[in-house]
Structure 1
Amino acid sequence: MSATGRIEYIDALRGFTMILVVFHHIMSLGMGIESSVCSSLFITFRMPLFFFISGFIASKTAEIPTWKIWAEKIRKKTSVQLLPTLVFGLLFTYVVRHEDIGSFLMHRWKFGYWFTISLLEMFLIYYTAICLTGKFFRRKGGGRKCDRPAAIILVGLAATLYLLKYTLKNIGITDQENDLFCLQDTFFYFQFFAFGNLAARNQNLFERLLDKKYFLTGILILFIVLFLRQTETDPGNSTSAMLQSAEALLCRYCGLLIVYSFFRRHQANFTQAKPLGKALQYVGRRTLDIYMLHYFLLPHLPEVGEYLLSAPNSVLELSVGITLSLLVTGICLVISNVLRLSEPLSHYLFGAKPARR
């Protein structure tokens, strides 16, 4: 843990995941490579890790004992996440895509800017659940941090929202409203947010499990089997489709645990004292900046994509993709630092706290 109280390997892990997000968008949006071994591998843990980390960090903050504090938390999260999304999302829509505001609002993924909307909704759900837990399950003596009821509620919410994802049409929510609020993504990925939160609340138990002699061995074997089985699909078989969906979900959990365990096991290499750790931590602390800016900088390289697809080579694809990802990430950080020279822009575009006078 750093002198500021931040968990260094978690910051590094978030930075690593952000680079993979840029990698995916370069390959899919910039080169037209929608499916490859690298893309299929990274998709198993990329977004689940982001939400897992968000839930993990959320548990480290103070609990929400009153509705007044709940309202203040939501106000801050809305300011930090929704305002930048609208500014950059609408700017991208107008300047790059030459479309109107309606196209952005009704687009299934908001032209890529869905993540912060879904994350804001998750914090709204989480803070509400914790506030209700503190109200109805107080400890003797006035304490309000009730881990067991909170765990039960979070697991119940995660399961309910996951099932609700598949029944949106049956409860009167139209496709248009679903696109407007990104509910499908929120309902699906909240389970990883809850998983990260529960892992942090029970960190000693969680880490003891990861340190079990054969636990990670089993997870690695299971991940490999499930990943290989993803290529064996039968779209016409509903039973097969349900089984495939369950296997894909389990594969995501396995991939998440493997990558988290790697960073935790080798956390000495991801400290501020190490160049790699320092760089990844810096990226990890500027993920919002990079996420908002990188869509404007994605290279348009369809010819490179056609070449990589014509002669599939995972090593070459990874080398080209990571190199371009680091370049785009670096340019984003430069632009971010220029914009952050202005305190108002730093605050309203990237959620930076105003400097103390």
Structure 2
Amino acid sequence: MSITRINELDYVRCIAMLMVVMGHVLFSLKIEHTALIAIIGICEMPLFFVVSGYLAHKDREESFKETMSRLLVRSRTLLVPLVVWSIVLNLCDERITFSLSMVYRGGYWFFIALWWCDVLNTFAAYTSKKFKFCMVADMVLYSSIYAVILLGRIKDIDLGGILPIQNVQYYFPFFVLGLLMRKYKFVNDVTLNKYSYVVGMLLLIIGWYFSSIESFVIWFVAACGAVVVVWMACREINSELKVAKILSIIGKNTLPIYAIHYLFIAIMPCTLRDVLNIPHGFFFQLVITFVYAVLVIFLCLLVDRILSLNPITRMIFFGESKKREW
């Protein structure tokens, strides 16, 4: 049975990906602690994780063998790019080493953090379906898992560097939120409605204003507001518009864009630094980084198309056996 694609999810991922590239452009130019950086930092990654959680839920019953098979495929598509593109980036930076950093650069933490969320959810979802948990039982189950994550954060357990416990601690709740939204209509209706949209906008604005405090609670609450606001806004995009089709293409290909974009950020012209280094230059930063981010995304898609033409290179660089949609 074919699965109907949910266009708004592609739009959300596109916006998140654009923010990621813009944020990395700003950081590469040594521009930090600005209003633009704050809003990007609040929105970008929670959007990715909530959409990933939403797509992680499967309605149909699966055997344990099918569940493990799906996890292995998912692991391949996340861990292969993590290793391969980390090595590529290290070689481009002339960092030849056999340490863990060779296969796990800080910028690629997203792949392994999302993989951990998938692993935890795979076993939780299997348990939930096997024992036919209701919504309350599911919340207790995932809360228990999160309690273990918090304990690991307190103990600073990182399993030799392969467990980004701080990132998992922050983003796992967003992953679970997306999953519960997909699984339970009640959660979806409470999260996405005209009233939550207003509340979300207020939380985002307030959280953004106080973001300099760098409080986990403030950033988390603001990010929840950002998820609601961006998702609701994406619902209003007419899928027949040309811009919607462009957003959809980017949203369907965020994995290769995330993997490749660091190469283009690393070779950014230094002349941009003088252009952007303007006191209170929010709009200068916004416009210039947006234009550069669009260019980077276009180049990433071009590289991805070239590498994906051959199934062997597609498997080597992205761990995928099938072509992604365009």
TM (norm. structure 1) is 0.82
Please give the secondary structure, in 2, of the residue aligned with 1:98.
coil
- 1:230 and 2:211 are equivalent in the alignment: yes
What is the deviation of 1:311? 2.2
Instruction: Please tell me whether the aligned partners of residues 154 and 194 of structure 1 are also in contact (alpha carbons under 8 angstroms).
Output: yes
- 1:117 and 2:112 are equivalent in the alignment: yes
The 1:287/1:247 distance shift into structure 2, 3 A limit, reads same
Please name the residue that 1:9 is paired with.
8
Instruction: Please tell me whether the aligned partners of residues 82 and 103 of structure 2 are also in contact (alpha carbons under 8 angstroms).
Output: no
Match of 2:67 among 48, 62, 70: 70
Please name the residue that 1:79 is paired with.
76
Please give the secondary structure, in 2, of the residue aligned with 1:33.
coil
What is the deviation of 1:307? 4.5
Please name the residue that 1:200 is paired with.
182
Please name the residue that 2:43 is paired with.
45
- 1:183 and 2:165 are equivalent in the alignment: yes
Q: Supply the distance in 1 between the matched residues of 2:191 and 2:275 (Cα, whole angstroms).
A: 44
Q: Supply the distance in 1 between the matched residues of 2:146 and 2:241 (Cα, whole angstroms).
A: 37
The 1:80/1:210 distance shift into structure 2, 3 A limit, reads closer
The 1:65/1:149 distance shift into structure 2, 3 A limit, reads farther
Within 5 Å, which residues of 2 pair with 1:255-270?
Answer: 255-264=226-235, 266-267=236-237, 269=238
Amino acid at match of 2:25: I
Amino acid at match of 1:217: V
Please name the residue that 2:151 is paired with.
164
The 1:218/1:71 distance shift into structure 2, 3 A limit, reads closer
Q: Supply the distance in 1 between the matched residues of 2:163 and 2:199 (Cα, whole angstroms).
A: 38
Match of 1:294 among 245, 261, 283: 261
What is the deviation of 1:148? 4.5
What is the deviation of 1:18? 0.9
Amino acid at match of 1:38: L
TM (norm. structure 2) is 0.89
What is the deviation of 1:185? 1.2
- CA deviation digits over 1:309-332, x for unaligned, max 9? 342211111000000000010001
The 1:220/1:38 distance shift into structure 2, 3 A limit, reads same
What is the deviation of 1:13? 1.2
Please name the residue that 1:316 is paired with.
284
Q: Please, which runs of 5 or more residues in structure 2 have no aligned partner?
A: none
Instruction: Please tell me whether the aligned partners of residues 23 and 325 of structure 1 are also in contact (alpha carbons under 8 angstroms).
Output: yes
Q: Aligned residues, how many?
A: 321
Relative to structure 2, which stretch is displaced further, 317-326 or 149-158? 149-158
- CA deviation digits over 1:239-290, x for unaligned, max 9? xx8xx332222111111211111112x13x2x1x211111111011111111
Please name the residue that 2:218 is paired with.
247
Instruction: Please tell me whether the aligned partners of residues 14 and 53 of structure 1 are also in contact (alpha carbons under 8 angstroms).
Output: yes
Please name the residue that 1:278 is paired with.
245
Match of 1:32 among 24, 27, 30: 30
Match of 2:193 among 200, 207, 211: 211
Q: Supply the distance in 2 between the matched residues of 1:117 and 1:35 (Cα, whole angstroms).
A: 26
Please name the residue that 1:131 is paired with.
126
Highest CA radius of gyration, 1 or 2?
Answer: 1
What is the deviation of 1:165? 5.2
Q: Supply the distance in 2 between the matched residues of 1:230 and 1:211 (Cα, whole angstroms).
A: 25
The 1:147/1:209 distance shift into structure 2, 3 A limit, reads closer
What is the deviation of 1:28? 0.5
Please name the residue that 1:236 is paired with.
none
- CA deviation digits over 1:79-126, x for unaligned, max 9? 11111211111121122242413151596xx23111111111111100
Please give the secondary structure, in 2, of the residue aligned with 1:181.
coil
